[in-house]
Every structure is written in C-alpha cells, then in structure tokens.
Structure 1
C-alpha cells in the first residue's frame, strides 16, 4: 500500500477480506419495489425503464431520452454585452450586491415566452381572483377528494397532482374550544407556493404572494366557538405548489398563546379550479417521463419471491410461486432492436393470464388500437413542442389475446412477450420535424418475425461488447449472500468488499444503459425520471455534474460511451458562440452552469451563481482526456481541437488585468454556487490554465497554430496563480477570505487536484494547502460531493481517507427518521438527495483512482490502496498513453501485472517508488512480477 496515512476506523470497521472469489454481479431483493428508488433500472441509451416487480400489478415507468419541455429558441439576451464592463467595475469596487442586481436585470439569459407572460398571466390571475366557489360546494360537498397537508416537497408528489400548476381550493373544518371565546385567533398556514387567497367561515381574511410564511389574525367576532371552516385558494404558477411547510406550522391558536394551538395538519378536501395557467417563463427545459406500463394479474398468495438485476447481461427478473406454479418475468432494453422487452413464463401450460395498460402523467394523451397485437399511446408535452408515440406489441404462445383501444388482455397463454418502443418528433436542437409514429411502426415491424431468444441474444451480445472489457474482484465479505437492501444497511458494520466491486460495475452498467453511441448524453438522472417537475429539471448541469457522469468512461474501459458527450459539446460550441458574442463581445464559445435538450448556453437562474463562465473549458478537458487515453489523432484534429481552440479564444479575449495584482483574472464569475458573483475565482483560473496548456500541446501534436499557441503561452504565465491563505488553506477566491467553518458541498478550488493535474505531489506546498482546505470542508456532503472527495483524496495518495469517503457514499440514504441524506437508495442510485446519477459515476471513478493513476508522466500502480482492500484483481483498467492493464495484489502488495499497449508508446511504470521504462509495440502484451521485472 502506498497510502501516506491510515484511518484506524477503517481498519476496525472493515477488517481483512476473508475469501478471494468473484461474486455474482446482481442486485437482488426479496420483495417488490415500494417506491421509485427501489425499482430497478434498465436502458438501451435511449429507452429506459424502472421495474417495480409487483405481484398483482407490475409497474414499469419508462422514459425516452428526447422527451423534454420547451422547444428551439434563442437563450441569449440581446445587448447584454453593454453591461459587462459596468458589472466588472462594480466588482472591482467591492460592490458585489450592486453587481449582482445589475447582472440579474440585464445580463441573464432569456426565459421562454418572457415577452408575453406578464400580460397573459395577469389576465388569468384576475380570472381566478374573481371566482368564488358556491358555498354548498365549497363547504358541504362530500364528493370532494381529500389530501393530507402540508406537503413539504410540494403537491407534485401526490397522485393526481403530478405536474399540476394552476389554482386549487383547499377546505378544512376545525373546532375552536369554548375557552377561546372573545379572543382574536391567529391562523398559521406556513409557506404557500405561490399565492394564497384565504377565507374563514365565508369571510375573506387575506392574501400573500411569494414563498413567505402566512399568518392571519382573525377578530373574535369572525370566529365560531365549535366548528369553523377555512378555505384557501392556492395559485401556483410552476413547480412545488401548495402548503409546503412542516406540520407544526399549520395551526390555529389564540393571539399570543401559541402553546394552545390546534393543529390544522392532516386531511383537507380540495377541488382543482383551473390547471391550465399560462406557461411560466423558464430559463431551461425539463426532462420528462414518457409513460407507464402496468401488468395486472389475478390476485394470488405467493411464496419464494425474488427480484434481481443481472449486470453481466443487463437483464432483470422476477420469480415467485403461486398455486403450485413457478412464474418468471424477464426484462431488458435492447439497443440493437430499440425495444424494451418483458417476457412472461410459467412452468405449467396455460397459466399466463393478465391485462396490460399504458398510461402517462401527461394530461394530453390517448391510447388506441393499432392492430390485433399492438396498442399505442400518443402524448404531447405541456408547454412544449414535442410529441411522443409508444407502441406496445405482444407475441404469445397459446391462449387468447385481445387488443382494444385501452388495453391488451391475455388469457391462458403458455408464455407472452411484450415489446415496447417509444419515439418523439425531436431530431436535433433546432429541428422537431421527426415522425414518432413512423419510427415506432418501423421498430415493431422489424421485430415482429424475430424470436424472443434471438432478440435477447442480440441484446446481450451488444451490451457485453461494452461491459466485458473490464472486471474487478476485491474478494468476498460476510454479507455477500444477503439481498442488496440488507447489504447497504450492514456495509458500515462489517466487511463486504464484493459490494464495492458490485457498486463499481453498477456504475459502468448505468453508463452503458444511459449513454450509447448515436444517442444523447446522460443527464442529471442518467436516463430515468418519473416526475413532470423533476429535481433541478433533470437537465445537464455543467459546473461539475455532466462532467462527472463521464469520469469513469475512459479509465473503466467505456470510451465508446463518451460519444454522446462529444455530441453535446459539438452542439454547445455552436450555441455557445452566439452567447459569447451577445454577452461578452468575444470570439469562440462559452457555456455557463446549465444546459438542456435545446442547448442553451446563456447564464441562467440567478446572477449570484448563474454567471459562471468555465463550462466550455471543463468540457474541453474531457475531450483532451479522450485523446490522451486513445491517441485518436483524427478525433483530435477534426473534433476536439477546434472546440478546444474556440473555448481558448473566448478566454484569451475574456481575461482582464486585475488592477490590484496585475494578474489576468476571470470576471465576472463565481466559485460554483458559493458566495455569489466575484472577480477571479480560483477554479476558473485552474480550468483556464488547463485549457491553454492542452491547446498548446494539441497544436504541437497537430503541428498547427503556432502563433495562437504562443499567445496562449504568454497569457498562461500571467493568469492569477493558486494562492495559500492565512489558515494554510488553498484559497477559493482571489482574496484570502475562506472560512474554516465552511462545509459547502462544492469544493471547486480542488479542481486543480482532480480532475485537473496542476496540484500534485510535485507541488508539495500547494498539495498541503489543498489538504488543509479539504479538512476544513469536512467529510460530509451530498452524494456527488462525496464522490468528488473520493477522487480528490485518492489523487492525494490518501487511500484510507478516500475509502472512508467511499463508505459514506455507500451509506443508506433511506433512514428511519424519514429524512433523506447523501448515500445510496435501495436500488443503489446515488442520493443528492434526491436522486442524482453523478454520484454513481463519480464513485466508480474514485475506486479506479485508488488503484491506478496516469495523469502524470508515469502509470502509478496502487497509488492510494486503502487498508480495507488488501487483496484483489482488476482486468481492463485503462491508462493514458493507450495502455490497458490487468494486475493482482495480495496483502497490500502488487503480485502480478500485464500491460497491453494499444499505441506502441513508451510505458513508464511506477510502483512503490520504483520506476521502469518499457518501449512497447502496438498490440503486444507485457508481463511483470511484483518487483516490476519483465517476464
């Protein structure tokens, strides 16, 4: 082991691996999924499904990668560049609040339908405000449905309220005790999103707008001793609607006597008044769920239930026994045939009987019969231009099949297979002329004559060409035979190294399933989303999250899965050029911290975090990484370098001289999502230096653009350097203003450690300062933040600390208190919380970083091997320079090594301080013993 420090806690908790044996790569459970983060994901890069595995009713919620809100539009604010210099001037004068206010008003990008919304929404709101429900309906109609309030996460999580915006009436009857007679009362409704109009006993008592707390004082003569009736009209324009505080705040009590409160939490009656308000202006579009497939079976008492996901062949299964019959279901999403398959069998003939339905959360949809074996669903996204079509086709052996406009029924079949496909009219970010009906028809026609066995075999062959390039075995722990949800709970208490192997391979599985050549890139939730208003829009966040999705791609031998990432960079370099011109008067291209299907690149959300200029440069870092791993000079020349050069051209123009220090700095910008708009954040400068350095090297490789490279070299030397502050920390900002108690989730100034390379063992003072900053920041965080810390500590060669972070990443997100935290859900999805897939990808990359590093001029073997993983083997891990390595270790020491040279370059190996150089030939293998002696 080459770790500089050890954590006794890690040794005590995880001990020594007991058995060295490869374990089955399966997630499995003894019960169906109860919630979405219990369900198991399948995907072919375009169509993804979440399998619940219920017995009486199975539910498969599915997505198609191109279904989003919004449509093609210009995201840039014309004339914004006029305010660039005034904003810079305000920041230079220390007037951050004024700079942010100016930027918010004049520099942020354009929202959708921003020009017409004010008039349209005012008309709609006036119509809602003039409407009063009749008293008999409002207070006495028992047919009104009920809902439990408050709902802290918004009414969208309540069935029937998904994606609802508009006006809703809520009605509650409550009793006032006789002791309150003659007293004014205070009604506390907590936070309401966005506007309330409130009545008590038919008397109007007030209205409040915004996300403020509602407290209304009611004169005693308006209060009834005994039963009272409160009616609240809630008007919500977008996202989390309703009463959104905790239960304690929803109450009524005599004025000044809060201890005598009567709770208003619990069941309320409601009526939706209008669910079609004008579309609220949005900076970015949201990724959308497509639809739901329901398989309904007759009720049976079952035994021996099991649900699993086999990562080796990307198939999921459910099996159980009922009335002497063993039933099985198999699920997969095929890339070759572009269908999701559900295969139902029983071990006795004539026992497969069920009804199958298609439904969706989208309000505007229909189902219809296509033919005697095919049901279709058509939908249109609210507040957007996209339409979707899904075909469900059945092939049955024996029995009877009936298809009508609502469902498919199967009676007495020996087996049945359902093939589901989905498509939209999206072609690219500026073209929505596609024909989803024709696409679905073509895909179903293509599989109609194929057998299930052949479709499954083609799926597995296609999947395994990616998955089988890599394997890892860390040995078997004492919990290896337990169901996955139980392993999560026990992981921190007893050694389970094979669970870490499973987790790493699960990350690879998710990347293969959500990012395939020819498709789009993995978003914040990969391919999977069940909400019309998903967390953070389930979009592409580019101040770390999109990039983290692809951290494991090169090292864990999934380079081909990066193709969709390269495709979005191609698009963004075009739209980003328009933003560079309109907002900065600059050449090249720029990207801020968020984008979506329509490839907006302008600053969005709020000026205190939305004006972050380094997105393009960070994306370009990963283009260069692909070249370093593959040596693909054609890719470098035709694709990567032009985009790297464009990003560098922007910064060559954008950087300005700081009047106080004389350095070139990035302004305006921010240290992502932390402390507002500033001049000269450390992360920007690290990323820009990396971009300039890589551009210079690429120009040298391609023997072009010497004059431009010389310009970058000069500017590189003048960029504000990394600084060490008064606490011995690496400064996050140009000024020494870090707070040692600050535990913010972003550790942005650590970019130079990972994924950057300028802070390393070769810069010991800076590395020590970075370590000090990491200690101040602490070990807690959200899922993706913890995953980043795994990689940072590994880069620092602190293997035990990196492993400690990995154990936090694998802690249970579902806790008994009901409050989620960072960690993993039952299906091993990463918890931000809620779910974000970047932590899965970052965690897998972090494990690889402990075992091999090649960011310098050598390949380091076991650079950060933790005490808790004293033995293991890995095959197919990749290093920069075009090398693929297989190696094994025992008792914390290297045992054997094989290197495959794909490019024929010089291979420099470093293990335990010993460095050797090997001149290799392309395509040849080289074997070494534990002392790096060639065999």
Structure 2
C-alpha cells in the first residue's frame, strides 16, 4: 500500500474549523455534545450508501446504510384469483348504499393473497423490508483521563461533510466523515495535534444474517437477506472496512481491527449488494483499492466538487444565519423567535437530503429515505403511494434537482407489468393499476386490509410525476417514452369505472379516501369502502387531461384518446358541502375524524392545480374552509402538506404558521415523545412519529411554493410571502416551461427577476400590482401590465427590474 504525506495544514484544518466561529452564511447543523439518540445523529449519503455517526467520545456508533438493503422478493402469492368473483356483489352493495356490507365482503375476500405487507412487519415475508446495513463501532482510548472541552459536532450542508472536534487536556482530536459522491465509498478521517494520538479498536456487526471475518487487516461483513420463502434468492451484501494509517501499529483478530499510537488514520468503508450490481464483490474491492491509493486531500476535494454541482444550483437568503446557536437550540427557539434564516436552513437541508439520499440510476427514496437503524424498519420502509413517496419528490423539479426525479420516474414505469397483471386478476380490466403500497419487487395488489389498502389510484398519482417532469423540462423525447405508461393507467380506469345511480357519473368502485372513515346516515360504525371518493376523481381527471395533452403534443390519435374525450365529461364535479367545505366523498358523509391527518380531497389544490384562487375562487374558498376544519396539527408529513395548501391559497402567514408547526421539537429533555405526533427531531429529521423523511421533503417543497408558483400557466413571484420574510432573495428555483428563476425582494416587494430558459418556450410572468415601471433587459415600460410574455430560446436570459410606487 502506498504511503502519502498529507501535510501539516491538512492536520490542523479540522481543529481550526471546529474551534472558530462558522462563517455567517454557512449552512450548518451543529451540536455541543454527542448524539444520545439515533434521531440526533448526522445523516451522510451519496445517493447509494450512507452513514450516521453519533460523535461519541470514548465509543462511537456509526449506523451504515445501503439503499438496496431489501429483504423479500417477488410475491407469487400476491395475486388473489378468487377476489374478482366477489367484485360484482361488492359493487352491487355499493350501488345500493350498503357500504358496510360491501366493506365486510372486501375484508374477507377482496385483498391480496399471502401476507401482503404483514401490517408493517414484513422483513421475513415475500413483501420484504428496507433494512439497515450494519453498525460500525469505534472504541477509542486516550493517554489520560483529562476532561473533554470545546466539543462540537457539525454537519456542513455546503460540503456534505460532518465533523467531530473536541479537546482532552492539551490534545485536540478531530474527525471528518463523508460519503463520497466522486469515489462511491464511505470515509472517516481521524487526526490529533499530538504525535501517536490516535488509538482505537473497530468492529462491525449486524443484528442478524451477518458473518464477520478479518483478512489481511481488512474487516469484512457479508450475508444474505431473507427472500420471504426461505430459499437462496435473497439479496446478498458485502461490506469491507480498511484502515490507512500514518504511523502506529495496525492489529487485528477474528472480528476486529485496531490501531495503536498512530498520528492519523483514514477509515474506508466499501459496500454493495447484488440487487442492482451482480458483480458487487468485484465492485467493493475496486472501490476500496482505488480510494486507498488516492491522497485524502484529493478524495475530499473531488467529493465536495461533485456535490456542489447539484447543491449550489439553488440559494435562499432570508437573513444572516444565526450560527452562534446550536441547531437544537435554534429548533426550540424557532417557536418564539423571529429567525427567518432557520427556515432557509431547513429548506436547504431538504435539498441536501435529496442529493444525499437518491441518485439517478438507483431505487427511489423510501419512507426513511436512505437512512434506517433497524432491520424491521417502521412500515417496512417501503413506498406508500397514497402520498408519501410522491411527497419525497415534490421538491425535485422546483428545487433544481430534476435528474434526481428519475429514480421515481423509472420505478413508476417498472410497475406496469405487475400492475397489468393486478388489473386483470382483480378487476378484469385493461391497462395497469397500483394500489397503496409497493416495494422494489413491484407489488401492486390491493393490500391485506381494505380499510387502507383498497385505494386504487396510487399508480395514477405516480403518473402525475411523469407529467410534471415533462412540464418542467419540455423534453418531447422523454414524453414519447412515458406516453404508454400514462395511456395504460388511463386504460385501467376507462375499463373499470362504473356508473353511479344518482347522477350517472363514472366512478371508481370499490375504493376509499386514504385511511379516513365516514359514518353512513343513522349509523356510528366507521366505514372506509366507498364509490368515487374525491381524490380518485381529481387524480383520474388530471390523468385524462395529461394523456390528452401528451397525445396532442406527440400528434397521437388512438382509441384511448377517443374514450377519454367521451368519459371525461361524465366524471363527478368537485362538490361543496352544505357547510361550505369541499366534500371528501361522493356523498356528504360525516367524517369519523374531522381532524384526520390525510387531506386527500384537496389533491386538486396541491399537488394538482384544478383549484385556484384565480380560476376557481368558490372552490378555493371551500378548500380554505376544509383546512380550517382539519386544523393545523397532524403528523409531520401532514403538516408539511398543509404548508403547500396554504401557499396555493396565497396565505403566506398561515403557511408560515405551518412551517413553525412542522418544526416543533419532537423530543423533550428526557428524549421521549412530547405532544401527539409530528414535529422535528434534533437532527432536523421529520417525526411522523417515528422518523419519516417525507415531511422533510414536503417542508422544502412548501417553502419553495411560498416563493414561486407556475401551475396556472404563468410565473408568480412571492405568492405566499409571510410578513417576517420581508426582505430576501433566491437563486435557481425552477418553473414549468423549462425556466430557472432568480429573484430579489425588499419590503415584501419584488425588485428584480432573472429568468434563464432551458428550453424554447414563451414564459408568462405576472406583474405585481405595486409595480410602477418595469425594465425588461434594460427596456423601460411605464404602462401598467398584469402580465408580460417572454418568447425565449434555450439558453436565453431575461432580466426584469421592477420599480414600485413605494420605492
């Protein structure tokens, strides 16, 4: 192995960084002590692999992750051929208003075969479970028992590097951690300002299905996860840990490696599975060898440079970052203080998590993104299609990470074959369908319990993401590739909807409004199963519209297009209850829980755009009353969704109130859950509870929605700006049509806008009412304009300067 002299400057740099104040604009999470719980550790990842160090002093625990650590396999029992025999009777009962009887029949007969998701406990079933990779433990020894001083644990969002620094007596210790974007390996560097100051023992473990060994001072862990059938087809994994030391003595036994009296150590962790890489063993060795032959300075520099290509596209300035306070203190103080920059930090943390948690050619972000600390992850860490995986990708386009949308887009298309079998087996229908839950093994059947598993618009909701990627990129070649998937989703509903008896509307049956129940008139028995819930109507109408638009752009004329034109007018309208709120069901049932966390019937407000204060003011007012009725509480992701709802209603202060609700501390001083659900953990992970990452992404998307909107055919700047974000700027947010926008504002009034076009497109910009004059590329317009249109070619840049009456 080659030896490199890393240089004195490199050794002292971490101490300098930890000992001095962070620059005022740095985006950092920082803490004065080691993490006591996993939800306080710092997440690192490169979209494929990750780690979460706790920064312990005497003993450090680092949880390791791989996005492909999935148990299970294709569930050959999921298709339940007997279910379809009961479908006619279920529909007959629904048409007669006998929902409870229809529900009971579904509970018995209309569900997947086998165990399904085993009610969230599926690690040893065919459905499977996303799991942690393993635990890395580092046990340090020090020459004396001096007390610890000047401890700081930091995650730099600007670098995607974490640091732990502290002092014992006159000796300073520093650690650096990153998941290399350039070299695809996990790296930990340990340094001290004293010669022979690095002493530790390193072990690797996993709660189950792991074999540990050491060969040539390389620690190895390997195993195979359960495929659910107890055969030899489960996912195999291999992890290797190697230490490159400067000075000292490297020792090992059967299950650990240790280093004694070294000046410096670099720990490399190389890991992979055979899910997406059949040559995973070769890959692990190649990555490990390449990293070991590369100077640390170059490893860190290329990692940061690679990360910057995505992270630096967007900036948000809401004021100077208050880096005099630790992050857990800022989180608590945010409830009472005016700290706009903390919202900007949280916004960028969401972008950091997306960049770190997913990559173009891998699996989508799951319920926990990339990070888990158990082998039985909550809810199997799977993909929930009734909002959760979709929310994970809400920031992708608007926050300038369009290529990171691709894992979900590719995954959606991969469900078509399974979804077609499900459509035929359960409904005798054409096209393809996916219900509420899915996994890497393409599970698309109704789940094991109809109360939550019967919703059949999960796949159609995913199709909204297929269309959104086109709307933001204007890529006609891409549109051609997704048209069959959109068409197939529409074919399912065209061949499966039935006519309800009161108005002759075409509706889904059976279905449900995700996880919410209602009472039938004169009854107090909760019922979930229904015909044509509002969310189904909204998703299907949007799907039909998108198929028609895609067909027009691509000049396609087929039977599906003609059928849509006939069926679309027969879809139920959005209905307003006699009490003024938007109806959640086809009939104005009484909800079992008026404050339910799901607000699915407002899908048309966000993420869709059929409800708009400008285009449909009555429906917008009904949506407002719906939100008032639901309240501002809920789980973490529910609070995040409500930010975007209020942003679409142009109520910035109410949207900001939901930002604060989302950021309520979820842990009290005794590290127990405080309050009822929701909130944010010390490391800024979102609490469902437990941890669920969708709230982080929903929060980031919601803040973007407060700053810029483009869903109504024009660009609107600061549509929901709260009072305490009166002055600020952003760079690099994206709009439909293929545009990238920068903006500055003062006293809540836009002063300048820059638009760069990434496609040939005519952008329509809403000019605020306070504008006295505008300058477009230095050309002055004094007449009042509500909108201006900018025909732009790819690469064009337009600058608009606004002089307001108050300036």
Same fold, judged at TM 0.5 (above): yes
Partner residue in 1 for 2:171: 325
Partner of 2:548: 696
Aligned equivalent of 1:400: 249
Partner of 1:52: 54
Q: CA 1:724–1:794 in 2, change beyond 3 Å: closer, same or farther?
A: same
Correspondence 1:910 to 2:766: yes
Matching residue within 493, 504, 511 for 2:336: 493
Which protein has the larger Cα radius of gyration, Structure 1 or Structure 2? 1
1:724 aligned residue (573, 576, 596): 576
Instruction: Classify the secondary structure of the residue corresponding to 1:405.
Output: coil
* Other structure's SS at 2:239 match: strand
State the 1:741 CA deviation. 6.7
After superposition, the CA RMSD in angstroms is: 2.0
1:819 aligns with 2:665: no
Question: Which of 638, 642, 645 is the matching residue for 1:792?
Answer: 645
Equivalent residue pairs, number? 744
Aligned to 2:113: 110
Q: 1:500, 1:514 → 2: CA distance?
A: 21
1:83 counterpart (86, 89, 92): 86
CA contact 2:245–2:265 (8 Å) conserved in 1: yes
In the TM superposition, residue 349 of structure 1 has moved relative to its aligned partner by: 2.0
- CA gap 1:370/1:72 in 2 versus in 1, 3 angstroms: farther
Partner deviation per Cα, 1:874-895 (whole Å, 9 max, x = no partner): 0000000011011111111111
Q: Measured at CA, do residues 96 and 238 of structure 1 come closer, stay the same or move farther in structure 2, by a change above 3 Å?
A: closer
Q: Structure 1 unaligned segments of length 5 or more: list them.
A: 1-20, 115-236, 241-278, 429-433
| 2:290 equivalent among 432, 446, 451 | 446
How far does residue 282 in structure 1 lie from its aligned partner after superposition?
4.9
Aligned to 1:920: 792
- Structure 2 counterpart SS, 1:102: helix
Q: In the alignment, what sits opposite 1:546?
A: 389
Tell whether the 8 Å contact from 2:177 to 2:189 is kept in structure 1 after alignment.
yes
1:29 is the counterpart of 2:31 = yes
Alpha-carbon distance in 1 for matches of 2:405, 2:123: 34
SS of the residue corresponding to residue 330 of structure 1 reads: strand
1:811 and 1:476 map into 2 onto residues whose CA distance is: 22
Displacement of 1:72 after TM fit? 2.3
Q: Could you list the per-position Cα deviations for residues 236-263 of structure 1 after superposition, in whole angstroms to 9, with x for gaps in the alignment?
A: x9989xxxxxxxxxxxxxxxxxxxxxxx
Aligned counterpart in structure 2 of residue 674 of structure 1, from 497, 509, 516: 516
State the 1:365 CA deviation.
Answer: 1.9
Tell me which residue corresponds to 1:93: 96
Higher mean C-alpha deviation, range 57-66 or range 540-549: 57-66
CA–CA separation in structure 1 for the residues paired with 2:185 and 2:457: 38
Q: Structure 2: how far apart are the matches of 1:595 and 1:521?
A: 11
Bigger strand fraction: 1
Indicate yes or no: 2:312 matched with 1:468: yes
- Paired with 2:626 and 2:116, the residues of 1 have a C-alpha distance of 44
Please give the secondary structure, in 2, of the residue aligned with 1:674.
Answer: coil
Residue equivalent to 1:733: 585
Name the CA distance, whole Å, in 2 between partners of 1:462 and 1:570.
29
CA shift at 1:543, angstroms? 0.2
**Change in 2 beyond 3 A, CA 1:280/1:849:** closer
Whose RCO is larger (CA < 8 A, sep 6+)?
1
Report the alpha carbon displacement of residue 706 of structure 1 after superposing the two structures with TM. Answer: 4.8
- State the distance in 2 between where 1:600 and 1:366 align: 30
Aligned with residue 269 of structure 2, among 420, 440, 446: 420
**Cα-to-partner distance string for 1:193-236 (whole Å, 9 max, x where unaligned):** xxxxxxxxxxxxxxxxxxxxxxxxxxxxxxxxxxxxxxxxxxxx
Aligned to 2:224: 380
Aligned CA distance change for structure 1 residues 25 and 438 (closer, same or farther; 3 Å): same
Q: How far apart in 2 are the matches of 1:673 and 1:36?
A: 29
Instruction: Please identify, of 294-303 and 831-840, the stretch whose mean Cα deviation from structure 2 is larger.
Output: 294-303
Deviations 1:305-345 (A, max 9, x none): 10000011100000011131211100011133221100111
Q: Which residue pairs with 1:869 in the alignment?
A: 725
Whether the 8 Å contact between 1:375 and 1:404 is mirrored in structure 2 is no
TM-score (norm. length: structure 2): 0.89
Give deviations 1:728-779, integer Å, cap 9, x for gaps: 1110000011449710000010000000111112111111111111111111
| CA spacing shift, 1:926–1:743, aligned 2, 3 Å | same
Q: Give the Å deviation of 1:921.
A: 2.5
| Residues 1:410 and 2:259 aligned together | yes
List aligned pairs for 1:317-716, cutoff 5 A: 317-362=163-208, 364-372=209-217, 374-382=218-226, 384=228, 385-427=234-276, 434-476=278-320, 479-638=322-481, 640-675=482-517, 676-716=528-568
d(CA) in 2 for partners of 1:354, 1:281 = 36
Paired position in structure 1 for 2:654: 801
| Structure 1 residue 474 displacement after superposition | 0.3
CA distance in 2, matches of 1:815, 1:412: 40
Distance (whole Å) between structure 1 residues aligned to residue 423 and residue 299 of structure 2: 47
Match of 1:745 among 597, 620, 636: 597
> Structure 1 residue aligned with 2:618, among 746, 753, 765?
765
Going from structure 1 to structure 2, the CA distance change for 1:668 and 1:760 (only over 3 Å counts) comes to: same
Q: Which residue of 1 aligns with 2:754?
A: 898
Query: Is the Cα contact below 8 Å between 1:29 and 1:483 reproduced in 2?
Result: yes
Question: Deviation at 1:26?
Answer: 0.3
Hey, which bits of structure 1, 4+ residues long, moved more than 6 A?
Answer: 237-240
Residue 456 of structure 1 deviates from its aligned partner by 1.6
Q: Which residue of 2 aligns with 1:889?
A: 745
String of CA shifts for 1:14-71, please: whole Å, max 9, x gaps. Answer: xxxxxxx962100000000000000000011111111100000111101111112212
Deviation at 1:404, TM superposition (A): 2.8
Q: Distance in 1 between matches of 2:124 and 2:292?
A: 44
Q: Sort the Cα spacing of 1:360 and 1:280 in 2 relative to 1 into closer, same or farther, 3 A.
A: closer
Contact 1:480 1:498 in 2 (8 A): no
Deviation at 1:932, TM superposition (A): 9.4
Matches of 1:571 and 1:613, distance apart in 2: 17
CA distance in 2, matches of 1:492, 1:822: 14
**How far does residue 447 in structure 1 lie from its aligned partner after superposition?**
2.1
Match of 2:20 in 1: none
How has the CA–CA distance of structure 1 residues 796 and 754 changed in structure 2, closer, same or farther, with 3 Å as cutoff? same
Deviation at 1:541, TM superposition (A): 0.5
CA contact (8 A) 2:86 2:110 kept: yes
5+ long unaligned stretches in structure 2? 1-22, 229-233, 518-527, 770-785
1:41 corresponds to: 43
Please give the TM-score of this superposition, normalised by the length of structure 1: 0.77
Distance change in 2, residues 1:867/1:782 (3 Å): same
